[in-house]
Amino acid sequence: MKEKKYIFSGIQPSGAIHLGNYFGAIKQWVELQKEYTGIFSIVDYHAITVNYNPQKLQRRILEAAADYIAAGIDPKKSMIFVQSDVPEHVELAWLFNTIIPVSELRRMTQYKEKSGQQQAASAGLLNYPILMAADILLYKAIGVPVGEDQIQHVELTRTIARNFNRKFGKVFIEPSVILSRGSRIMSLADPKKKMSKSLGEKHYIALSDSPKVMRKKFMSAVTDTGVTMHEKKKSLGVYNLFELLDLMTDPKTVAKFEKQYQSGKLSYKELKETLAEASVRMFSSFQEKRKELLSDEKKLRKILEDGASKARKIAQKTLHEAKEKMGIV
């Protein structure tokens, strides 16, 4: 029997899935599940490391599940589950806490950024990368499809696996990073920052946004004033729009706008309208499927329960191996 090759990734249930999430992660997951067994988690324990609304959390978990499936994740090929439904994640994370120095966690870029935005950063925010390592290593995943901002965390995961194996004996695989083409989509309103829901509505395009909202957001996107004879390099805003153009249209359309830009005759209005219509077309079937899924909450919860049941079988086995090596069982 052919041995299964697992990949692991997850997204926080912190609101609508946007273009950055889709091109940086989910689109790649859909393609990778043809070759690997995908383990895709809705990582609710990660979501509570920063301020959140407890009353909205369960609804957002269901919306995230609907987003996964509507985007093309097949529950028959991949496991889709809620992180907190597999308690082995946090138990393994605690074991890893005993073998990684605090200095390693304090140097994490995301911790520095997020802790700087809070009056008092939680210990959970500091330990976030350890839980992420447990998420991945628990399934002996050979690859982790993530965006550029998570590369440092995957490198720490590799370090933790290496440290554990060296200290207690071989249990874990050091996973590889799998980057997608659209691994760094920037904010439409502030292209110096990565597209994120935390920045506000005008900064991102949600896959679930209505056509009217998509058009409005694209038309408001930051660009620049054009090029001169001495400056042919695109500004950050224009570069970001061309990145999206490349991801959402065909090479002929990209070449057309590239030629116009280089000649200094590009109409930003036309570019934005083209992107808006491409976005509306690309996600119309997604929106229909998402609506259908959310209308049957019982079916969605059953998919999540089945995914958690399959994931736990793998997780329990790995955790037992780790505890045996550590002399705990």
Interacting residues of 243 by C-beta distance below 8 A, sequence separation 6+? 182, 185, 186
Give one word for 169, left, alpha or beta, with left for phi > 0 and alpha for psi -120 to 50. Answer: left
Query: What pLDDT does residue 229 have?
Result: 38
Cα distances (Å, whole numbers) of residue 183 to 5, 70, 186, 272: 23, 20, 10, 21
CATH 3.40.50.620 region(s) of the chain?
A: 6-185+297-325
Tell me how far apart the alpha carbons of residues 171 and 3 are, in angstroms, rounded to a whole number.
Answer: 17
Helix, strand or coil for residue 10?
Answer: strand
Residue 179, H or E segment: strand 176-179
Of 70, 86, 66, 60, nearest to 8 (Cα)? 86
Cα distances (Å, whole numbers) of residue 5 to 39, 139, 213, 316: 10, 10, 40, 18
Query: What are the tokens at 102?
Result: 């605090």
232 is catalytic: no
Minimum mean pLDDT range among 9-13, 88-92, 147-151, 293-297? 147-151
Contact assessment for residue 88 and residue 319, using Cβ atoms and an 8 Å cutoff:
yes
Tell me how far apart the alpha carbons of residues 297 and 63 are, in angstroms, rounded to a whole number.
Answer: 10
Q: Which of 114, 140, 217, 234 is catalytic?
A: 114
Query: What pLDDT does residue 228 have?
Result: 45
* Percent of the residues in the chain that have a pLDDT greater than 90, as a whole number: 66
Strands 79-82 and 37-42: parallel
Predicted TM-score of the model (pTM): 0.88
Q: Which residue has the higher pLDDT, 308 or 228?
A: 308
Give the position of tokens 């950050």.
236
212 is catalytic: no
Confidence of residue 58 (pLDDT cuts 50, 70, 90): very high
Exposed, middle or buried, 107 (CB in 10 Å: 0-12/13-18/19+)? exposed
Of 119, 125, 127, nearest to 156 (Cα)? 127
Q: Which of 27, 140, 192, 197 is catalytic?
A: 197
Taking only the tens place, the pLDDT of each residue in 168-206 is: 999 999 999 988 766 678 999 999 888 888 788 899 999
Write 112-120 long-range contacts (CB < 8 A, 24+): 114/50, 118/50, 118/51
* Res 230 pLDDT > 60: no
Q: Which of 140, 194, 217, 272 is catalytic?
A: 194
325 is catalytic: no
Of 113, 182, 185, nearest to 145 (Cα)? 182
Fold entry, domain 208-282: Tyrosyl-Transfer RNA Synthetase (1.10.240)
- Residue 199 per-residue DSSP state: G
Architecture of the domain made up of 6-185+297-325: 3-Layer(aba) Sandwich (3.40)
